[in-house]
């Protein structure tokens, strides 16, 4: 398997309903993961962009949380509708600044 240029992590952590931290699964993270997988395949990016689910990325109030490496971009409130724009940005080597979780919030939860 070729080494991917980019690696996307999607938090699928789920806490009990009413937990004060919240979590990504109840916010639609599985649907986001499925859409990223599907669009990577449809756009012919397999081998260049990898995606995996993960547990908590410590940005819970911003879920669904998605991280793109090697950029180290932490995106919050990801939705299925944003997946193509995210993949466009990755292919173009840029970040989507307005979707980034503020640096001071990353890892706080």
Closest approach, Cβ 3 to ligand FES, in A, equals 26
Cα separations in angstroms, 96 against 23, 35, 92, 99: 23, 18, 11, 6
Any contact of residue 40 with ligand FES (CB under 6 A)?
Answer: no
Does 30 sit near ligand FES (CB under 6 A)? no
- Contact flags string 50-89 toward ligand FES, x per CB under 6 A: ------xxxxx--x-x------------------------
């Amino acid at each position: 398997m070729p080494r991917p240029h980019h690696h996307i992590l999607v938090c699928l952590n789920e806490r009990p309903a009413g937990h004060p931290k919240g979590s990504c699964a109840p916010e639609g993270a599985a649907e986001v993961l499925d859409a990223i997988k599907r669009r990577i395949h449809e756009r012919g990016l397999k081998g260049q962009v990898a995606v995996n689910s993960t547990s908590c990325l410590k940005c819970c109030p911003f879920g669904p949380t998605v991280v793109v490496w090697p950029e180290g971009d932490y995106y919050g409130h990801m939705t299925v509708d944003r997946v193509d724009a995210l993949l466009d940005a990755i292919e173009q080597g840029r970040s989507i600044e307005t979707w980034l979780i503020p640096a001071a919030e990353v890892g706080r939860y």
